[in-house]
Every structure is written in C-alpha cells, then in structure tokens.
Chains A and B, each alone.
Chain A
Amino acid sequence: MGLDGLDLRKLGDWSDHALSTTAYTAEEIQQAMGEFGAFCFDLVLERRKNPGDDLVSSLVQAADEADGVTEMQITKLVLGLVVAGHETTMTTLGNALVFLLTEDRAAWARISTSRDEAGAATEQLLRTIPLGDRVALPGMLRRATEELEIGGVTIPAGAVVAADTFSANHDPAVHPETGEGEWPDLFAAVDVPTLTFGAGPHHCLGAWLARMELESGLHSLAARLPELRLAHPVEQIEWREGLLTRSPLTLPVTW
C-alpha cells in the first residue's frame, strides 16, 4: 500500500478504534475515525498528484478511469484496506503463536521444516483459532435480506443476526471432528471452504496475502527460533480486549 515511513503506531491506534466494541467511548471513536478519514483522504489526494507503484495509486487511477466513483468511496476503501490489511493478520499470528508455543510444540518443529508444512498448518490455524473473543460479539453482525430457516429456526427478513464463523468452521457435518480434548491435526488438508475469509461478493480480498504472511511468518520464526517459548504462563498473557479481534497485547518470549 506504500504506507512505509508513515506513523504505523498511529495507524494501529486508529485501526483499534475502527474495530472497537467496548474499548473506547463513542466520542473517542468518532474523533479517531475523523482523523483517520482525513488521513486517508489526504493520502488519496497525494497519490493522485504523485502516483507511485502502490495500491492506493492504482485505486485512484482505476477510479478515475471508471465513471462515478467518488472521492469519499475511494477514501473509505483505503481506510478499510489499512485496517483489514494488518489487524486481522496480526491478530491471527499472535493467537497462532500462543497456541503453537503452549499446546503443540511438535507442530512448531514441523512448521520449521518447510514452507509447505507451514502452509498446511496455516490453513488449519485459520480454521480453528477464533479471531475474536466470541463474548463481546459472537460473530459479525448481519441483517437478513430475506426470510430463511437455519437448523429449524426461522430468521425473519430484516432480523439482525450474529454470524459466528468459528462455529461454522467447526460444523461436524462439514469438518470431521477430532476427539474430545484432542487438537485437530494441523497438517491435515482443509478440503472444504471455511468461512474464515467470508463468502460471496465480499469474500476477503486479502485472503492470499494473509495466508502468505502467516505461512512465511510462522515458518521463518520456527526455523530461526526452534526453542522459542513463552516467558510467562499462558494465564498471565495480557489480551487486547473490547475489539472485534482479540489477541495478545504483548507476548514475552524466550529462546
């Protein structure tokens, strides 16, 4: 996206506000989103003036070639890409590390052996590790556009539902369950689609980028630091809370 050299800490802070459920007040969110929107708007204007080889410049050029794409739409798209482009991948990487370093050392060793092994594990980690805490919000909120029946329950048109992708990704009718108290085989192929990246026209644009970053990040870390382990018991982890995503705030480690 060509955001290198910008204030990444600020971008992270704005992203947290964008994904806040209870962490910030409505006023704080409004203020942060106002600043974030202004930043993205300036970025769009700047890249229109000095286009480069980056995503924002490409979007601006494509929008200018198409008819009827407003400055506001490009700005919102850029804002969405900034948030979605790092927050969820960062969250998943942190959560995957907690799991691997505490529950599945054998998998950590195997991930270090090749990118292919890391890639296989990435698919299962994406399926099995929840992105949010499932308490503040048990899934993304959606409005039913028409009446439908799921599992014997009628959802009327217009109803707001929380779509819990974690539960869908563990549907025993789709994904054969592991035994009670057993972890899934992280290296078994995920043969059917999961809802981790959504479905339909809004399927995550960055799905392959996220996969690549996770695969590369986990493999490199495991190959470089095979003895990596948490410095403190897992109960002492401080979590980022009150956001749509949940992950360790910090993860002290030793090796």
Chain B
Amino acid sequence: MSAALESRVDRARCVGTGACAATAPADLTLGPDGRAQLLAPVPVHLGQLTEAAELCPVEAITIHRADTGDQVAPAC
C-alpha cells in the first residue's frame, strides 16, 4: 500500500511564475500576492502536482510522505 502524501509550498521561495497553477490547477493557484498557494494539503491530482513540482524553477513545491516527511518529488 502506498504511503499517504502531503503537498508543500515554500512561499518565501516562490517567484510567482504561475507555471504550477497552469500545470496543476486542482492543487495550486496564485494568491493575491502573486505567489503560489495550495488548494488542498494533500495531492488532488498527483500526476499534475508532480509535474508542477518538477517544473518549478525555484523548487518551491515539494511532495512528501506524510509519515516520515521524506521528499518524494521533485526527485533529489
């Protein structure tokens, strides 16, 4: 059985490209300050969210195992 996952956005790191919100609209949007924010604390569309995490030019988006906190995307 696969482990439960959680999504994280480092808003201090975000530079607001909007690539994530365009790639994973179910999981991410740009807030009023122009920086990414999560629509849900856990991945809604894991495939899209993974792609968004890999696309982010400042690696502000990460997906972690909820139990251990280990980062599963982007691969490091």
Contacts and interface: CB of A to CB of B under 8 A. Distances in A.
Interface residues of B, number: 10
Given A200-B16, A201-B17, A203-B57, 13 more contacts: A192-B13, A193-B13, A193-B15, A193-B58, A197-B15, A197-B57, A198-B15, A199-B16, A200-B15, A200-B18, A201-B16, A201-B18, A208-B57
Contacts of A193: 12-15, 58
A162 interface: no
A207 interface: yes
Chain A facing B: main interface SS: loop
Interface residues of A, number: 11
Interface in B1-44: 12-18, 34
Contacts, number: 28
B25 to A, nearest CB: 15
Nearest to B18: A201
Interface of A: 192-193, 197-201, 203-204, 207-208
Contacts of A207: 57
B22 to A, nearest CB: 9
